[in-house]
Amino acid sequence: MHASVLVLGGGVGGNVAATELRRLLPPAHAVTLVERSERFTLGASLLRIIVGEASPDDLTRSVSGLSRRGVEVVTGDVERIDPAARRVTVGARQLGADHLVIALGADLEPATVPGLAEAGHSFYSLEGAIALRDALARFDGGRNVVLTAAPAYKCPAAPYETAMLIDGSLRRRGIRDRSSVDLYAAEPAPMGVAGPAVSAAVRGLLGTKGISYHPEHQIARADAAAHRLHFANGASAPYDLLAFVAPHRAPRAVRESGLTGESGWVPVDRATLRTRFEHVWAIGDVTGIPLSMGKPLPKAATFATGEAEVVARAIAAEVTGGEPAGPYAALGECWVETGDGRAARGHGDFFGEPTPVVALEAPSADAHHAKAAWERAWLDRWA
Ligand SMILES: Cc1cc2nc3c(=O)[nH]c(=O)nc-3n(C[C@H](O)[C@H](O)[C@H](O)COP(=O)(O)OP(=O)(O)OC[C@H]3O[C@@H](n4cnc5c(N)ncnc54)[C@H](O)[C@@H]3O)c2cc1C
């Protein structure tokens, strides 16, 4: 019998899952991927776009390129998901499959904070990163603010990297002495899930660069006309250039499907990435995977990639009767850009008990180059 697999989302997890499934399954079995965007960009690359280190053309790939690998690509919006029946509505089309992989990521929701969308640049999207790049290039001194509008967001390093990248850019242009860089964070500490030593190291890096850090500042509203942020604790902050991380939410089709749990994300068995529905898996940012230390597994490409590989092997084993996949292990690696042509490599075991075991190495030029090489290698292999 011929099996069919439907992958929803052509971002990090979806690209890896579809590519691996196509490699592992004999051609008679169908692999279809649904994605609304025509271009794919690796989130990590947005940071290099912001400081003009690379152009979007170098760092984006056509999603339809997957069809060269034998994946059927459907361009469109997933509007409804019926996980019990494994049926999906995409525009006027109804798609069904024997196996369903949900890889729809996290939606950015700046509109949930009054005034925020108009006040600055949402740099977690390609358009927002390009707009911030252009605004930064025009900037001639003044107050820079980087803001996290909620305590949990994908890539917990990225806003800290962005503050340091902005600092580095201002120094290179000789305007740092007439500029300030402040980071207002909803969370109590940088990269908290990685533990107090990593948090302290990142705080130390901010300090050496003269970046003022204001943790536990939950944004309540932004006043774009007055260029001022107002926080729930009563504080307020002026700015000339604002870069923000918008609150995240599971995509509407996922929220309305009955797949989400109390956390607002899709609960899965952390070893297998299975949801509570038969033959339905979820991977990447759309999932909520609690850790014993009380915080969830961070949303990051390093995890979405590994989860997708485990799920592809599990589905291939079910279809072909081969060896079942080993459990997902949550070994993660990332690089924290420090804005001076260097980066600090972080790596660890995020399922470590009772807390994740994570190390952050000293910044080096080699690690900065290693990050760019990882981005290129990822795109060449998976996108
Ligand atoms: C600035 C920045 C820097 C980052 N740096 C790093 C890093 O250094 N290392 C790291 O590991 N991670 C990093 N990340 C995080 C990483 O990009 C994400 O965790 C990763 O992309 C998650 O993969 P995913 O497949 O779950 O979601 P995504 O890659 O976001 O893919 C989801 C896909 O679903 C599509 N979609 C959503 N809804 C629908 C719908 N209704 N219909 C059709 N399509 C839909 C979206 O268009 C998207 O393509 C960074 C992220 C950002 C923003």
Domain containing residue 100: CATH number: 3.50.50.60
Within its chain, how far is the Cα of 99 from the centroid?
Answer: 25
Give the closest residue (by CA) to ligand 1 atom 27.
Answer: 105
User: Confidence band (pLDDT; 50, 70, 90) for 324?
Assistant: confident
Domain count for the chain, please give it.
Answer: 2
For residue 180, how far is its CA from the centre of ligand 1 (angstroms)?
A: 30
Q: Say if residue 138 is in the same domain as residue 214.
A: yes
Q: How far is the CA of 278 from the centre of ligand 1 (A)?
A: 25
Residue 307 falls within a domain, yes or no? yes
- The per-residue pLDDT for 19 is 97
Separation of CA 2 and ligand 1 centre (Å): 31
Q: Where does a domain end: 222, 248, 274?
A: 248
Tell me how far the alpha carbon of residue 200 lies from the centroid of ligand 1, in angstroms.
Answer: 27
pLDDT computed for residue 298 by the predictor: 97
Task: Tell me if 364 is assigned to some domain.
Answer: no
Asked whether residue 353 is assigned to any structural domain, the reply reads: no
Domain membership of residue 344 (yes or no) is no
Whether the link from the prior residue into 188 is cis, omega within 30° of 0, is no
Atom number in ligand 1 closest to CA 333 = 11
* HEC-encoded secondary structure of the chain: CCCEEEEECCCHHHHHHHHHHHHHCCCCCEEEEEECCCEEECHHHHHHHHCCCCCHHHHEEEHHHHHHHCCEEEECCEEEEECCCCEEEECCEEEECCEEEECCCCEECHHHCCCHHHHCEECCCHHHHHHHHHHHHHCCCEEEEEEECCCCCCCCCHHHHHHHHHHHHHHHCCCHHHEEEEEEECCCCCCHHHCHHHHHHHHHHHHHCCCEEECCCCEEEEECCCCEEEECCCCEEECCEEEEECCEECCHHHHCCCCCCCCCCEECCCCCCECCCCCEEECHHHEECECCCCCECCCCHHHHHHHHHHHHHHHHHHHHCCCCCCCCCCEEEEEEECCCCCEEEEEEECCCCCCCEEEECCCEHHHHHHHHHHHHHHHHHHC
Whether 261 and 154 share a structural domain: no
Q: Do both 268 and 304 map to the same domain? A: yes
Task: Judge if 53 and 81 occupy the same domain.
Answer: yes
Nearest CA to ligand 1 atom 23: 12
Q: Which of 35, 256, 358 to mutate to test the pocket of ligand 1 (most atoms within 8 A of CB)?
A: 35
Distance (angstroms) between ligand 1 centre and the Cα of 236 equals 31
pLDDT of 236 > 90? The answer is: yes
* Residue-range definition of the domain harbouring residue 211: 110-248
Residue 187 domain-assigned? Answer: yes
- Give CA angle at 146 (200, 60), nearest 5°: 100
Query: Last residue of some domain: 266, 287, 320?
Result: 320
Q: How far is the CA of 254 from the centre of ligand 1 (A)?
A: 15
Both 258 and 282 in one domain: the answer is yes
Residue 1, pLDDT > 80, answer no
What percent of the chain clears pLDDT 70, i.e. is strictly above it?
A: 100
Query: What does the pLDDT look like over 148-178, one tens digit per residue?
Result: 999 999 999 999 999 999 999 999 999 999 9
Q: Check residue 246 and give its pLDDT.
A: 98
Most informative mutation of 47, 161, 285 for ligand 1 (most atoms within 8 A of CB):
285
Shared domain for 237 and 118, answered yes or no, is: yes
Ligand 1 interacting residues, C-beta cut-off 6 A: 9-14, 34-37, 43-44, 46-47, 77-78, 103-105, 124, 154-155, 158, 251, 253, 284-286, 299-302, 304, 334
pLDDT-derived band at 309, boundaries 50, 70, 90: very high
379 CB contacts (<8 Å, ≥6 apart)? Answer: 42, 59, 61
